[in-house]
């Protein structure tokens, strides 16, 4: 019963975190960009990315629990570390990007070059994190095919 609960929570967390990222980038951002000004869209994105990063922290904790229970191959820990490192990078970049936008006024960017560079890095790190997550899920499903332990 614990195994089923653990796996259920892991799947739900990954769907919310990684699936949410895919839906947000594929549907919400293009729709928001078409319907709102860039500044209005950035106000939404600033809040949503904080939620996605928080979901990442919870998801990584659940993934670690699952890994300890299933004794996975080393590569799965390496991928977990890649997702954790990229999440830490995103969480560090987020306030650096937000600090360059005047969210109390008209949305002017105080340092466009610095904003643009950090925003591009944020997008690339997010994409790499998502790709690592895809490989991780494949290895996780393969590990779940094996028995968890003796007995």
Gap between the terminal Cα atoms of the chain = 15
Confidence band of 151 (pLDDT split at 50, 70, 90): very low
What local confidence, expressed as pLDDT, does residue 148 receive? 53
Mean pLDDT of all residues in the chain? Answer: 90
> What confidence tier does 147 reach under pLDDT thresholds 50, 70, 90?
low
More confident residue, 42 or 138: 138
d(CA 77, CA 96): 29
* Tens-place pLDDT, residues 108-134: 788 888 888 999 999 999 999 999 999
- Stretch 22-50: mean pLDDT, rounded? 89
Q: Is the pLDDT of residue 17 over 70?
A: yes
* Residue 104 · residue 41 · CB < 8 Å: no
Helix (H) / strand (E) containing 35: helix 29-35
Q: What is the pTM of this model?
A: 0.88
- Kindly report the three-state secondary structure assignment for every residue of 91-146: HHHHHHHHCCECCCCCCCECCHHHHHHHHHHHHHHHHHHHHHHHHHHHHHHHHHHC
Overall average pLDDT of the 6-28 stretch: 95
Q: What is the pLDDT of residues 61-114, one digit of tens each?
A: 999 999 999 876 799 999 999 999 999 999 999 999 988 887 777 777 888 888
How much of the chain exceeds pLDDT 70, in percent?
Answer: 96
Whether residue 59 contacts residue 13, with contact meaning beta carbons closer than 8 Å, is answered with yes
Residues 6+ apart with CB under 8 A from 7: 66, 144
Using DSSP, state whether 20 is helix, strand or coil.
Answer: helix
Cβ distance 60 to 84 under 8 Å? yes
């Amino acid at each position: 019963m614990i195994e089923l609960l653990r796996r259920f929570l892991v799947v739900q967390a990954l769907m919310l975190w990684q699936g949410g990222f895919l839906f947000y980038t594929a549907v919400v951002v293009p729709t928001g960009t078409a319907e709102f000004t860039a500044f209005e869209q950035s106000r939404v994105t600033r809040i949503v990315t904080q939620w996605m990063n928080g979901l990442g922290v919870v998801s990584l904790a659940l993934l670690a629990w699952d890994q300890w229970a299933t004794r996975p191959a080393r590569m799965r820990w390496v991928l977990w570390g890649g997702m954790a490192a990229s999440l830490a990078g995103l969480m560090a970049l987020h306030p650096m990007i937000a600090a360059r936008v005047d969210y109390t006024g008209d949305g002017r960017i105080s340092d466009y070059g610095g904003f643009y560079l950090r925003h591009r890095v944020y997008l690339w790190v997010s994409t790499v994190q998502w790709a690592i997550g895809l490989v991780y899920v494949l290895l996780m499903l393969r590990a779940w095919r094996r028995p968890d332990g003796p007995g």
